Amino acid sequence: MNILSLFSLLLLNSVLVHSGGVHGGHYYAFIRPTLSDQWFKFDDERVTKEDVKRALEEQYGGEEELPQTNPGFNNTPFKFTKYSNAYMLVYIRESDKEKIICGVDEKDIAEHLRTRLKKEQEEKEDKKRYKAQAHLYTIIKVARDEDLAYQIGKDIYFDLVDHDKVRSFRIQKQMPFNLFKEEIAKEFGIPIQFQRFWIWAKRQNHTYRPNRPLTSQEELQNVGQLREVSNKAHNAELKLFLEVELGLDLCPIAPPDKTKEDILLFFKLYDPEKEELRYVGRLFVKSSGKPAEYLTKLNEMAGFAPDEEIELYEEIKFEPCVMCERLDKRTTFRFSQIEDGDIICFQKRPPPESEEKMRHLDVPSFFDYVKNRQIVHFRLLERPKEEDFCLELSKLHTYDDVVEKVAQQLGLDDSSKIRLTSHNCYSQQPKPSPIKYRSVDNLLEMLVHYNQISDILYYEVLDIPLPELQCLKTLKVAFHHPTKDEVLIHNIRLPKQSTVGDVLDELKTKVELSHPDAELRLLEVFYHKIYKIFPLGEKIENINDQYWTLRAEEIPEEEKNLGQHDRLIHVYHFTKETAQNQMQVQNFGEPFFLVIHEGETLSEVKVRIQKKLQIPDEEFSKWKFAFLSLGRPEYLQDSDIVSSRFQRRDVYGAWEQYLGLEHSDTTPKRAYAANQNRHTFEKPVKIYN
């Protein structure tokens, strides 16, 4: 049976399509679930109806030709590569289609799937109903002492509570607030008469504190009215603090009467030895009273002896920086501008000898530490994907502080030999340039990248101190020996005011020359083309070896004694590739210079090239030779005079015209290990530092 006969017995049921390129893309499917011609497109969670033409005819790969806008003119049709094509086709036998494509009853679905689908449908309907009725409800978040005690020192340090982690209630806006209090009584076991609710308020310094108790008139309102009174932002939430007073038997009692003279304060206790902060309770104080009058009570709340010496601090704000000031115990609360909802932090007075033993001696220094502490993950620059170690630092640490911590971690005596490089948050790679010695004020500047804060730094251990290194210029130079088939990469380090001649003199002491009097030159190579021969007197300070390859080589004797009509030309290897319907020249391999003489034919030049490159006859016979100008090859015959093609002087750069050697690229694709961005492949590489 031939293939056409076979397909006549099959029915196309589905088409799996890949959209994108060879390096990535997206899959979706066209499926015909019934015997009709109706197709459906399944694209992740989106399912849409599609016609036959869209499902079938438009899923061929290859190229498509746009219709001509001016058919009367002889325009070249514009073709473009399709971005999607069928990846897999699913057929069913015509004889089996009634069995396979048939109606599905609920009983045909496995029980566990029916249960799951039913649950998903119910959840979907619940969400839809919840969203549709959202305008009828208010979310009330109720914070209690238990929440403060649980969160402070664990989840949070500043302010009193994270409202997203307290008990919330979804209440109809029309419900009277007194009925809501009955729900609170059921939920927390607090009788209505023992409940007192406070409204939270956001202050100008961006803190969030209990502001005042609800009035009896407000509690007569419904929930929706109360939310609008308390929340100027008019969002769906009402935040409350539930004040509950406990008697000696720890049972709820009626809250005390509150006058304008009474202030509700919240207290946190700091232990400098353990570096721990915890919530110890709240207290009503008199506005005209002084903190000194409440010290015994505070010691009792903290579990201290009644006469323990303690220091008090007011927690004022923490954005954009921490503000926590010592509270004068002999000044009235009113004079100190203390009001409802304020937070007082206190601690034992540290003894004088404890300064050296404790990192954060008092509340302000501890808050500064908490606010600015940063875990930094350090990676060796040579292995940028592998974490080496991490340190807990402060965003306020100076440059010297950071490198000193790194040096201690690595066991180095001289921290100036540490060089750091910041992280690029978008590329997930080290930034191209390292951090200069003391060029940043603090750790935060090292971590910020376009308003994002990273937690990664890269480090190097240098052989000389960084300040000394920054006065030098280091160049990676690839030395090509005239006879040995290998490339030696050397790091040449010289003062920035040095010249190219100094670089070559230094290189001569590191490499093996063909003879003692050999002269060297330095070339700039990029994408397998020679762009520049550096003058010996050029300063090295501005030479860039990050993207361009610096190549050093001996100057052949024949180039030193050029005749009047001799020409020095560029010779490059190339192949031809088809891209977007256009033939393009692709260079590869090592470019080189060649002297051509007046009247010399291509066959004579080929002899010298074969000898220079040491190519076997069988392989060399397959090579083609072309004169290339601006990327367009003109193929040469053996009898052509090569020098006649290289007469123009008005070219922008010598690389624009060159003798091209067309042959297949069989060299192993191994980049220079010194820099993976150079696109230079060829000979075996050795690296010398």
Write the CB contacts of 149 (distance below 8 Å, at least 6 apart in sequence).
278, 279
Tokens 């040995």 locate to 484
CA-nearest of 279, 282, 280 to 303 is 280
- Radius of gyration of the chain from Cα atoms? 40
- Answering whether pTM is above 0.75, one says no
**Long-range Cβ contacts of 512-518 (<8 Å, 24+ apart):** 512/481, 513/554, 514/481, 514/482, 514/483, 514/554, 518/554, 518/555
Report the distance separating Cα 456 and Cα 428, nearest Å: 10
Q: What residues of the chain score a pLDDT lower than 50?
A: 72-73, 234, 670-682
Q: How many CB atoms lie within 10 A of CB 90?
A: 14
Residues of 247-276 as b/e, b for ≥16 C-beta within 10 angstroms? eeeeebeeeeeeeeeebbbbbbbbebeeee
Report the distance separating Cα 529 and Cα 277, nearest Å: 65
Q: How many CB atoms lie within 10 A of CB 168?
A: 15
Report the distance separating Cα 429 and Cα 12, nearest Å: 47
What is the token pair recorded at 457? 């730094």
pLDDT per residue over 408-444, tens digit each?
999 999 999 999 999 998 889 999 889 999 999 999 9
| Predicted pLDDT at 229 | 67
Sheet strand arrangement including 624-629: 582-596, 567-579, 657-662, 624-629, 632-635
Percent above pLDDT 90 for the chain: 55
Backbone φ and ψ for 336, nearest 5 degrees, come out as -80, 5
Overall residue count recorded for the chain in this entry:
689
Report the distance separating Cα 545 and Cα 432, nearest Å: 12
| AA identity, residue 533 | I
Dihedral, CA of residue 146, residue 148, residue 153 and residue 159, to nearest 10: 180
Report the distance separating Cα 592 and Cα 637, nearest Å: 21
| Predicted pLDDT at 629 | 86
- DSSP string covering 112-127: HHHHHHHHHHHHHHHH
Q: What DSSP designation does 106 have?
A: G
Report the distance separating Cα 288 and Cα 15, nearest Å: 82
Q: Is-contact 305 339, C-beta < 8 A?
A: no
Cis amide prior to 77 (ω within 30 degrees): no
Tokens 């002899």 locate to 607
| Predicted pLDDT at 679 | 33
Helix, strand, coil abundance in the chain, percent, nearest 5: 25, 35, 40
Tokens 């610096």 locate to 550
pLDDT per residue over 625-668, tens digit each?
999 988 889 999 999 999 888 876 655 666 778 999 999 887 66
